[in-house]
Amino acid sequence: MTHTWILKRNCSLTPRQSAAAYILLCTGSFGIALFFLVQGIWIVLAFALLEMAAVGWALLHYARHALDVERIALTERSLLVERIDAGRRSQYRFDPTRTRIAPPLPRVQKLIRLEAPGATLEIGSYVSEAIRQQVALELARAMRGHPARLR
């Protein structure tokens, strides 16, 4: 039996929607700047360029991280954590019989810590503290009832 948890950011816009919003903002801002440029007031265009560069940088950063996710899968043989951060994929595999779950502690440790001999991994950075607490409890409960531990 496989237990799976998916921890992802709560993002309002997909990367494609972010690009569409940026194009819409540029159209409006440069349209107004063009009107003033025709009137001979070129400084408005300079500020529009500066403004759209800042908004573009912010939306690019947002879009790169909008699809960040952590997938945790507990099977009979392994505890697999797959993390996608800004398009970079990494996988961590633990032996569920030798892995300890350290739940988040207020003011001390904000993330869920997986501790195994020779490896430590913190997870849950994409979700709220309440969800981290819930996932830590569910994961610990599932690992206590793990078939390999019952033998």
Name the 3-class secondary structure at 95: coil
Q: Which residue has the tokens 């997938």?
A: 71
Domain residues for 54?
1-151
Sheet harboring 100-102: ordered strands across?
Answer: 100-102, 112-116, 119-123
Alpha-carbon distance 120 to 109, whole Å? 14
* pLDDT at position 144: 83
Total number of domains in the chain? 1
Give pTM, 2 decimals: 0.76
The one-digit pLDDT tens for each residue of the chain (151 residues) are 789 999 998 888 999 999 999 999 999 999 999 999 999 999 999 999 999 999 999 999 999 999 899 999 999 889 999 999 988 999 999 998 899 998 888 777 789 999 999 899 999 999 998 999 999 999 999 988 765 553 3
